[in-house]
Amino acid sequence: MTLEKQSFEGLMSSLNLEEFPTYEIHNELNYNQLSIIKNNLEIQLTRLFEILQDFKCDMETPLIINGFPRDDIDVVSVRLIRVKIIRLRNDHKYLLSLIEEKLINQFNNPDDMEPSKVVEIDSDIPFAIIDEVIDQSPSHKAGLKKGDKIVKFDKDINAMNNDKLMKLVHRVKTKVNEAIEIDILRNERIIVELVPTDQWDGKGLLGCKILPI
């Protein structure tokens, strides 16, 4: 592991973020696979730009003034984040060229097209965080804790398709008194089972506050 990689992992840990998953991008991947990876890279880029904003910086903000590093900005952290953004941008650009090539080949050779295949590439990017858990609520009984990050909800809702948590809300309403499997990140990956119900003393079906990341 390189010093730069160690530094970036340490930074992500200090910001309460896990290391972003990486993908092998090559011409052997089909169109569906390339599209899924493209969506994941775009999510990663969005989150990294949000982190830069937290440092009150963008990609052009000067980090050195009069020959000296600025003392009002965490220069090392900003530089590491910028390096990661540049690399992801390059991967994204290459990915778009591969997608374009696949589309052109399919357009020019429609008889060679294979039936569409749904290819799953697990998204390990948390998309929501538990901000509050009410005592004796369904969420409390399921073992959820404040700070838990949701990676998957009911096996198929993830960072790529949650529609700003709207799919999660709809799923809960359709599965009252049924167990929902939640894949969470709490130092390590944990699976809990939550049963939405209104048969408790509080309000709502879950008894917790969920916020998007």
* Domains detected in the chain: 3-112 (no CATH), 128-212 (2.30.42.10)
Each residue's pLDDT expressed in tens, for the chain with a length of 213 residues: 455 555 666 666 665 555 566 778 888 888 888 888 888 888 888 888 888 988 999 999 999 999 999 999 999 989 989 998 999 999 999 999 998 888 887 767 655 555 444 444 556 678 889 999 999 999 999 999 999 999 999 998 988 788 889 999 999 999 999 999 999 988 888 999 999 999 999 999 999 999 987
Map residue 193 onto helix, strand or coil.
Answer: strand
Q: How close are the terminal C-alpha atoms of the chain, in Å?
A: 28
Q: What is the pTM of this model?
A: 0.54
Residues 25, 96: contact at Cβ < 8 Å?
A: no
